[in-house]
Structure 1
Amino acid sequence: MYKPRLQDLLLLYALLTNRGKLCIAGDFCSWKGSGLSWDSSSRSVEQVNLRCTVGSLEWMYPTRALRVILEPNLVNSKHTTICIKPYAQFQGANIYVEKSRELHLLVAEGNPVQKVYCFGIDSFQKAALFLQASPQKDLSRRTAGFQYELLNNHNYGFAFQKFGLVEDACRPCDNKDLLMAICRSDFVVKGSIKRISHDRESKISWVDINAIRVYRQRNSIFQPDSSTGTWNGPIRTLLQCGVKKGEGHFLFTGSEHFGDAWLGCAPRYKDFLEIYQKAKKLRINPCDFQA
């Protein structure tokens, strides 16, 4: 597969721009624009700066090229991975990532888009994506859009799944992991397992939770059920981890990505309380937990 070099990109800029001039769109968490709004006589390449750890981009009627700079306003950032999830109707462009001064095809038009594409970064200052519009024969609506997230080493199962580090994703949590999970996790939920289902094609298992208490959640994945007074929601994990249904109450923790909950640590609730009370007595608990 052809991988254009950075020099090819610069040459393309020279051909598309007027004396190398870029049209800067601004600084955003999310951006939405249309190629039809561009001056047809201009040969500039529009550049978008995205300065958050989570956001989206929607480029309607892709025309020529779009350069996207991911550069969040963070101090001493420890984010080591960038992931993007194309929209279901991704059309009209290919996405390249600039890495080691070369361009690598990340998302090709026509490829299955219901997946997440991730790439690692050594030290985060900024990362560049280049969206190159595909030749079109008509003006029918096409949209090249995606959501993006910046991850760090604490985004356990989700990031590990993307890089195939199954042995780390499925590793049991020790006491230190459990105590840190209630501090760092996007969701902390006490409940029981209703059912477990498996998708062998995507290599993912879904754990349906019946929660009696939601301590924290970043998004509204767990929804209240007025008829039972409990909360319901699904959690994803890797099929290879071999999750099994257990009886009793658990403390489910993990991270949320692109609207999905990914399982981190899930100790039995009574076991976690014992560990937490001992840590609190020794004053080594990293944060407080209201049982």
Structure 2
Amino acid sequence: MSALLTKEQLENFALQGLSYADDHVSDPFSIKDVSERLGISYSYFYHNFAFHMGEPFWHYVKRHRLELAAGLLRHSGYNIGEIGEHCGYATTAAFSKAFKQHFKESPKDFRRILILPNEKRTLQITETITAAIGSEAFHGLFNYDRCEKIKLPDSILYYSFISRGQNPVAEMIARMNFYQGLFKKMQTLYDVPQSRIITGTLDAVPVTDYEKLSMFAGLLVPTTAIAAHIQLQHNHGYLMTKRISGGYYLKLPVPMDFATAGIPMYNFISMNCKEGIFKMSGNHFFISLDTSKYSEIYIPLLKKHY
């Protein structure tokens, strides 16, 4: 099979596996489930994923689930048992044991850490790449009083990984114009003005190592847009998909591009979650792209903060 496929097609198989693991983070599944979904053999998928992603598939699944759990410990109001359940663990004991093996801290102790091991490094690297204007300009913009609580519908995200690996933020900035143009054409072609072009990461910032972050750009389409979903699935099967739960979000409009907004967005989320001003219902915050100089940040809210 490998002789008949291009390098890009082989990598896409691996990325589809990564996407499947993320979209089923709370569900039980096996490698066979993934390989059958992709229409390839268990062995072929197993070796192809390890070759392209640099780690065995099940190692990625476990790491990804525990890193997302760490993000929820950081920013959500869920208790430890609820976080374990959200991340695919049947019991609190099983989750706590796996978490401590991975992070060398219990979930309870991890929650008390003020600055995470990767936090300074990730933010410093990103700030070096994206620095464009002085931080004083952000003070008035990244303010809770400027936020609006809005309700978003259940949606499906059709996305491409625009960067992952050694320098994901720099790669994302370099490639974003192409993908933004691509998804704008899809909005017009499939007549989905209610959709949003968004960017973000599948990973838990700043828990995941910077070099392992997976950045995406995609089209977020309400599940009710049936005709558009049929066309997107038929014509763009190479795109990854992710279910995004509806509910209340904080929307924060900012007059800047997505890259400039990234660092103050994270600091805004972190500070407000630490102070209990709001708590998140998941790790799926994202930036909606409108124009090159205007973005909207969406942060999923825990129900009691509606």
TM-score category (smaller protein)? under 0.3
**Relative contact order, CA 8 A, sep 6+: which one is greater?**
2
Structure with the higher strand share, 1 or 2: 1
TM-score, normalised on structure 2? Answer: 0.22
Q: TM-score, normalised by structure 1?
A: 0.23
The structure in which a higher percent of residues are helix is: 2
